[in-house]
């Protein structure tokens, strides 16, 4: 009975999580489309300015001066617009030679540290819904904040819980020539300096756009 309840709870949590993931994917797709439109508007604006200059209606020096002034003002008010999203594109991957590695022999030493490395998912992996990504840092694969391991690893056996659906980065990965992992691959000597320096507890910070309340209609920014 208790087992059934736990299983139902897990299903509910998992379906809720999927909804949140899909919601985020939708939101980021919409924002990307908006960015594309802004780029298009920007091109037209530059074209109009170009024509005005050529027709002698605007003076390039005055225009540049104005642009610099306004840009500086926007920066000072921290009102610059950007969208911090990472999506992996696998170009030229097929050309890379795969070097097989004797993982089972190395596991007592490396403890599958490769599953602590950070990478962004590609569109296909996100859409599959099988791989979790950091909701606060789209679309990097999700890690357990304290252990730094990928959330799909079995903490005890260090096996991959989504082996058949694992990202192509994982499928093609070989640590044989990865100097972040091994100081000396043949002697199985880990690169502790790099690993200690770069693999640490992850804390997500809000570093995005400025926050506005209804005063923003009048252009007032709330103090953070
Ligand atoms: S790929 Fe390398 S780091 Fe990863 S488990 Fe195998 S031996 Fe360890
Ligand atoms: S998806 Fe699997 S193989 Fe890839 S990092 Fe996570 S646990 Fe490791």
Are both 185 and 114 inside the same structural domain?
yes
Domain that holds residue 174: 93-198
Residue nearest to atom 8 of ligand 2 (CA): 115
Are both 157 and 193 inside the same structural domain?
yes
CA of 33 to the centre of ligand 2 (A): 31
Are both 31 and 56 inside the same structural domain?
yes
So what's the pLDDT on residue 154? 96
Are both 99 and 183 inside the same structural domain?
yes
170 lines ligand 1 (CB under 6 A): no
Are both 188 and 100 inside the same structural domain?
yes
So what's the pLDDT on residue 1? 58
Residue 215 lies in a domain: no
Dist CA 150 CA 144 (whole Å): 6
Half-sphere exposure of 102 (CA within 13 A, CB side): 8
Please tell me the total count of domains within the chain.
2
Are both 111 and 185 inside the same structural domain?
yes
Angstrom distances, CA of residue 108 to CA of 103, 114, 157, 188? 9, 13, 11, 10
Q: Which ligand is nearest to the CA of 103?
A: 1
- Take residue 222 and report the two structure tokens written for it: 């709330």
Dist CA 112 CA 126 (whole Å): 23
195 lines ligand 1 (CB under 6 A): no
Are both 35 and 128 inside the same structural domain?
no
pTM: 0.64
Residue 209 lies in a domain: no
- Which of 150, 154, 172, 178 is the best mutation target for the ligand 2 pocket, counting ligand atoms within 8 Å of the beta carbon and taking the most? 150
Residue 222 lies in a domain: no
Q: Which residues contact 106 (CB under 8 A, 6 or more apart)?
A: 188
45 burial type by CB count under 10 A (0-12 exposed, 13-18 middle, 19+ buried): exposed
So what's the pLDDT on residue 221? 36
Are both 168 and 98 inside the same structural domain?
yes
So what's the pLDDT on residue 31? 80
CA of 83 to the centre of ligand 1 (A): 34
Of 99, 79, 124, which Cα lies nearest the Cα of 224? 79
Render each residue's pLDDT in the chain as its tens digit; 224 residues. 567 777 777 766 766 776 677 667 767 777 887 888 888 888 888 888 888 888 888 788 888 888 888 888 888 887 776 667 788 988 766 667 889 999 999 999 999 999 999 999 999 999 898 999 988 788 899 998 889 999 999 999 999 999 999 999 999 999 999 999 999 999 999 999 999 999 987 655 444 433 333 333 333 333 33
121 lines ligand 2 (CB under 6 A): no
Residue nearest to atom 1 of ligand 2 (CA): 166
So what's the pLDDT on residue 12? 66
Q: Which atom of ligand 2 is nearest to the CA of 117?
A: 5
So what's the pLDDT on residue 160? 97
Are both 26 and 67 inside the same structural domain?
yes
Are both 109 and 180 inside the same structural domain?
yes
Are both 100 and 76 inside the same structural domain?
no
């Amino acid at each position: 009975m208790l087992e059934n309840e736990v299983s139902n709870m897990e299903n509910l949590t998992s379906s809720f999580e999927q909804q949140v993931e899909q919601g985020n994917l939708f939101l980021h797709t919409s924002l990307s489309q908006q960015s594309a439109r802004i780029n298009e508007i920007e091109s037209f604006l530059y074209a109009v300015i170009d024509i005005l200059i050529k027709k002698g209606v605007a003076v390039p020096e005055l225009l540049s001066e104005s642009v610099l002034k306004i840009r500086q003002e926007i920066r000072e008010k921290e009102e610059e617009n950007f969208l911090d999203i990472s999506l992996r594109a696998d170009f030229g991957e097929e050309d890379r030679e795969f070097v097989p590695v004797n993982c089972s022999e190395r596991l007592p030493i490396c403890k599958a540290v490769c599953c602590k490395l950070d990478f962004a998912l590609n569109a296909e992996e996100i859409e599959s819904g099988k791989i979790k990504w950091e909701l606060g840092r789209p679309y990097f694969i999700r890690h357990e904040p304290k252990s730094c391991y990928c959330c799909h690893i079995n903490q005890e056996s260090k096996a991959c819980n989504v082996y058949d659906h694992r990202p192509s980065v994982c499928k093609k990965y070989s640590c044989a020539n990865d100097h972040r992992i091994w100081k000396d691959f043949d002697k199985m000597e880990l690169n502790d300096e790099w690993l200690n320096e770069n693999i640490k507890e992850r804390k997500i910070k809000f570093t995005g756009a400025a926050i506005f309340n209804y005063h923003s209609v009048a252009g007032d920014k709330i103090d953070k």
